[in-house]
Chain A
């Protein structure tokens, strides 16, 4: 294994629980808890989970001064965690109401189908899904009745959309604040090595299932940063996608007062199409995001709730 994108020696990476190893929170290495109750030492400011100076610490041989303490990695600022979870109901509501708004006047349409009477590609997708589900009605409303808040509900959908867009905006500000306060933005900035690292990760993901089936070793590329290169790109793209969703949304919502926004997207319909594509992008992000966090294990999931990780070695 090679150090791919670190420029200084990393004492913690030498720990037995390296990034590749499966470190469950219950493993003895992660719960390095010395027995000596007498020593107190210099505790980290646990209330703010402020980092102490990791360079001077020797976690591989727990010193007495760290009695009753635990070495953890500070991963996510409280505001980042809060806005992350708030995004779940907000994006859900934005997408289901947005699709019901889309129903009122679809952008991607074709000549009416003689059998289904559909003239809308999204409705066609719904028809294709409905045909696979025994006992379900096959009609152009199916998609909007199951992936949105229904047909003939434009007024209701607009209420949801305006309610949640202001929450989305406020939540985006919370997230950016959290990124700055927790200095998490550093893990999202592009790095020189990201193209090569991304290729290594793509190669790894492509091979992980076949190699498992073949029972051959398939080591995870070493990652010494918070995120691997693909994660870094995907997570960094999220605030950009959010800003694009807001910009294209406001371009259609207020095309007169924000005429320059409408111009930015070429035209009114240009903004509609960008808005739609960003929604698809959010959905496409969500699928591997959820699958990988489930595969990666409890520590990763928990770190988005409590903010810390027991995986001292780094990200996976």
Chain B
């Protein structure tokens, strides 16, 4: 026989024993895979597949074996955390994000999850910095920011939904703000908030993200005031938004009203809604 197909004399009893073992393993694996997929499957999908009663019955049976909903959520969270840890391990503070030409710019959609705030807030807008080395909070207005050196870049914004857009941003480097108003010693994280964010019904729904200090220190992390040469409008986060092109779009918070330097990792709006936390690209 060709050497691809070695034929061999095998003791009948051994062959039977091993084959039986393999079939038992195969069966056990099939049951385990089905149970595992059922355990982590969304409720709506399970009901569509087997109907309400069978789903209830199987969910109750699974819970009796310890496969509860809470554990399922925790288990799947760990997959997200693991992927975030991989992203963090891959992150290099010296690696720059790909830059594009002005002519590469593509339309950028307003992806506010809720309603876009009416422009009325812009005139009264202030930015509060807390957690500073000085120990006192500072309130900044647009002219204070224009004192810092202005930078421009054309980078890609990648949304967790799958779309992406190339946009030209200008504003100040986050690193320059950190130098001008140094955070308190021991700060590791930055909690950034937008109090003007609205939900779908138009009610206040503050948006918040966490950014780690190395990401904020990156020379391509901007606090942008302009998009493609014109001042930001309310749809893109006037008067100040975060542009961190090494993070998913959902970290690029619009209409920032507060920046807090903190020790522990702050919460994220979308992480509280089942998405990952670190979101490094």
Chain A residue numbers with a CB within 8 Å of B48 are: 145-146, 150
Q: For A255, give its contact among B83, B92, B158 (CB under 8 Å).
A: B158
Cα(A224)–Cα(B23), bound, Å? 28
In chain B, positions 81-103 with a C-beta closer than 8 Å to chain A are 82-83, 87, 90-92, 95, 97-98
Pairwise interchain contact A162-B1, C-beta atoms closer than 8 A: no
Pairwise interchain contact B161-A104, C-beta atoms closer than 8 A: yes
Which partner residue on chain B sits nearest A92 by CB separation? B37
- Judge whether A158 is part of the interface by a CB distance below 8 angstroms: yes
Q: Main SS of the interface on chain B?
A: mixed
Number of interface residues of B (CB under 8 A): 60
- Judge whether A226 is part of the interface by a CB distance below 8 angstroms: yes
Q: For A102, give its contact among B9, B37, B156, B162 (CB under 8 Å).
A: B162
Cα(A254)–Cα(B9), bound, Å? 51
Pairwise interchain contact A72-B83, C-beta atoms closer than 8 A: no
Which partner residue on chain A sits nearest B20 by CB separation? A306
Which partner residue on chain B sits nearest A164 by CB separation? B79
Pairwise interchain contact B162-A101, C-beta atoms closer than 8 A: yes
Chain A residue numbers with a CB within 8 Å of B77 are: 159
Chain A residue numbers with a CB within 8 Å of B160 are: 104, 154, 158
Pairwise interchain contact A159-B8, C-beta atoms closer than 8 A: no
Query: How far apart are B167's CB and chain A's nearest CB, in angstroms?
Result: 14
Contacting chain B: which of A5-13, A194-202, A209-217, A290-298? A5-13
Pairwise interchain contact A155-B275, C-beta atoms closer than 8 A: yes
In chain A, positions 223-253 with a C-beta closer than 8 Å to chain B are 224-226, 252-253
Pairwise interchain contact A89-B8, C-beta atoms closer than 8 A: no
- Judge whether B22 is part of the interface by a CB distance below 8 angstroms: yes
- Judge whether B41 is part of the interface by a CB distance below 8 angstroms: yes
Q: Please name 8 further chain A to chain B contacts, defined as beta carbons within 8 Å, in addition to the given A69-B12, A155-B274, sorted by A numbering.
A: A70-B9, A74-B5, A104-B160, A159-B40, A225-B4, A226-B2, A259-B98, A306-B22
Cα(A69)–Cα(B15), bound, Å? 9
Contacts known (A102-B162, A256-B246); A166 close to B82, Cβ less than 8 A? yes
Query: How far apart are A226's CB and chain B's nearest CB, in angstroms?
Result: 4
Pairwise interchain contact A226-B44, C-beta atoms closer than 8 A: no
Pairwise interchain contact A255-B156, C-beta atoms closer than 8 A: yes
Q: For A186, give its contact among B3, B40, B90 (CB under 8 Å).
A: B3
Q: For B6, give its contact among A13, A51, A252 (CB under 8 Å).
A: A51
Which partner residue on chain A sits nearest B1 by CB separation? A12
- Judge whether B149 is part of the interface by a CB distance below 8 angstroms: no
- Judge whether A50 is part of the interface by a CB distance below 8 angstroms: yes
Chain A residue numbers with a CB within 8 Å of B15 are: 46, 70, 72, 308
Query: How far apart are A160's CB and chain B's nearest CB, in angstroms?
Result: 7
Determine which residue in B4, B92, B97 has the highest number of CB atoms from chain A within 10 A of its CB, and name it: B4
Chain A residue numbers with a CB within 8 Å of B90 are: 254, 257-258
In chain A, positions 130-157 with a C-beta closer than 8 Å to chain B are 145-146, 149-150, 153-156
Query: How far apart are B88's CB and chain A's nearest CB, in angstroms?
Result: 10
27 contacts between A and B (CB under 8 A): A10-B1, A12-B7, A43-B10, A46-B10, A46-B18, A52-B8, A54-B6, A57-B7, A69-B11, A69-B12, A72-B8, A73-B5, A74-B5, A75-B5, A88-B33, A105-B159, A150-B48, A225-B4, A226-B2, A252-B158, A252-B162, A257-B87, A259-B97, A306-B18, A307-B22, A312-B7, A314-B5
- Judge whether A47 is part of the interface by a CB distance below 8 angstroms: yes
Chain B residue numbers with a CB within 8 Å of A163 are: 40, 76, 79
- Judge whether B276 is part of the interface by a CB distance below 8 angstroms: yes
Which partner residue on chain B sits nearest A152 by CB separation? B44
- Judge whether B183 is part of the interface by a CB distance below 8 angstroms: no
- Judge whether A187 is part of the interface by a CB distance below 8 angstroms: yes
Cα(A18)–Cα(B159), bound, Å? 58
Cα(A272)–Cα(B1), bound, Å? 45
Pairwise interchain contact A226-B4, C-beta atoms closer than 8 A: yes
Q: For A305, give its contact among B26, B41, B270 (CB under 8 Å).
A: B26
Pairs of residues from A and B, 5 with the lowest C-beta to C-beta distance, nearest first: A51-B6, A155-B274, A105-B162, A163-B79, A46-B14
Query: How far apart are A108's CB and chain B's nearest CB, in angstroms?
Result: 12
Determine which residue in A11, A44, A52, A59 has the highest number of CB atoms from chain B within 10 A of its CB, and name it: A44
Q: Mark A97-108, 1 if CB is under 8 A from B, else 0.
A: 000011011010
In chain A, positions 26-76 with a C-beta closer than 8 Å to chain B are 33, 43-44, 46-47, 49-52, 54, 57, 59, 66, 68-75
Q: For B7, give its contact among A59, A89, A315 (CB under 8 Å).
A: A59
Contacts known (A163-B79, A256-B246, A272-B162); A306 close to B19, Cβ less than 8 A? yes
- Judge whether A123 is part of the interface by a CB distance below 8 angstroms: no
Query: How far apart are A79's CB and chain B's nearest CB, in angstroms?
Result: 13
In chain A, positions 114-138 with a C-beta closer than 8 Å to chain B are none
Determine which residue in B9, B23, B160, B281 has the highest number of CB atoms from chain A within 10 A of its CB, and name it: B9
- Judge whether B168 is part of the interface by a CB distance below 8 angstroms: no
